[in-house]
Amino acid sequence: MQLPLRFPFVTALRRTEQVETLLVEVVDTDGRRGWGEAAQVWQVTGESVVGAQACVVEMLAPVLIGQPLANWPMVTDRLARVVARNAGAKSAVETALLDLVCRAAGGSLADLLSQPARTISGATAAAGPPGSGLVVTTDVTVSATDLAATVQAARQRVADGFTTLKLKVGTDALTDVERVVAVRREVGEDVRLRLDANQGWTRDEAVRAIRALDDAQVDVEFVEQPVAGEDVEGLAWVRRRVDTPVVADEAVFTMTDLRRVVRLAAADGINVKLAKAGGPLAAVRQVHFAQQAGLMTMVGSMMESNIGVAAALHVAVAGEASLVADLDAGWWLRQPAPMTGLIYGNDATVRIGPGPGLGVVPLLGG
């Protein structure tokens, strides 16, 4: 599925004008359906639509086809192990399966993810209070462009109701600082500014840019992934030299990555994404682990449609993530996603109505 964006989405790693994504549907013998999503993000996960599709069809689908729904704990364990990496494809299949399990049981995915142990079965999944839905506050991304366009975009996003702006930096340390200073001047002190360098700076550039903003007394909530994802020592090196909190994103895909970040005291927080963790179950475990280690926690998504955003929203609620969410992807779509159930408000919120499972259903044929 290809969905055009309102504006080009530009980071230190990539520029895109559309979401390219794979929707996965799981159907049970009673005709109930569950949905999941794997976005194409060559530069971050290395996954593509055709690659994810091959992974789903050839390796993941055979793990669950023919299995009773009640076997989902065993099935999700096997999904995680049957293929190396391919976290986006695994997340799509796991999400679709859990969506179906929850629909069969009448509870939401957040309910299921909130269970302390995997004791839940179809009969014991609890439904949320009648009439309730889920709601979180989200940031909105401001693309990495020139100074005038950055300031204009920031002003427009505040007018759109957003109260937390995520400025993409990491393209050039000097102009990055100028752009952030200009945005702060434009939007005033009441708007929260967070930065995401998407691995774009060297260690030295990161320290110089972050200290420059600090010296200019620009209030920045945190800086996400200032240096290369694999350079966890560098992340720790930067963190030791600046006062602004550092958040790990591309540095953490797996629980092993997260443990290493904690061991090296490399970050103050983590951006958990299902397409890195491999699905909602692992994502919620990462949120809990990070919290126990004293890290701030945020749940984000790739540039994807409302199915993927909804799954992440359930994780954010179930895990009680501490930071404003990073779930603006669906807002970027030029036309409303061909799906019911997930709505962006004019008050920086994204909400899902009451309903079992994800609470979001595609309006596709079939």
At a CB cut-off of 8 Å and minimum separation 6, what does 148 contact?
none
Comparing CB distances to Mg ion, the nearer of 93 and 153 is 153
- CA-nearest of 212, 218, 143 to 186 is 218
Known catalytic residue: 166?
A: no
Least distance to Mg ion from the beta carbon of 186, Å?
23
Comparing CB distances to Mg ion, the nearer of 99 and 249 is 249
Look at residue 153 and give its three-state secondary structure.
helix
Phi, psi values for residue 219, rounded to 5°: -75, 115
Comparing CB distances to Mg ion, the nearer of 75 and 312 is 312
Sheet containing 15-27: give its strands across: 2-10, 15-27, 33-39
Count residues near Mg ion (CB under 5 A): 3
Known catalytic residue: 90?
A: no
Contact 39, 16 (CB under 8 A): no
Residues 244-283 that bind Mg ion (CB under 5 A): 249
Site string for Mg ion, 159-198 (x = CB under 5 A): -------------------------------------x--
Contact between 139 and Mg ion by CB under 5 A: the answer reads no
Phi, psi values for residue 354, rounded to 5°: -65, 155
Q: Give whole-number Cα distances, 36 to 56, 101, 212, 266, in Å.
A: 11, 13, 42, 32
How far is the first Cα of the chain from the last one, in angstroms, to the nearest whole number?
Answer: 15
Site string for Mg ion, 212-251 (x = CB under 5 A): ------------x------------------------x--
Handedness of CA 125, 126, 128, 134 (dihedral sign): negative
Comparing CB distances to Mg ion, the nearer of 71 and 137 is 137
Comparing CB distances to Mg ion, the nearer of 128 and 234 is 234
Catalytically active residues, by annotation: 168, 273
The residues binding Mg ion (CB under 5 A) are 196, 224, 249
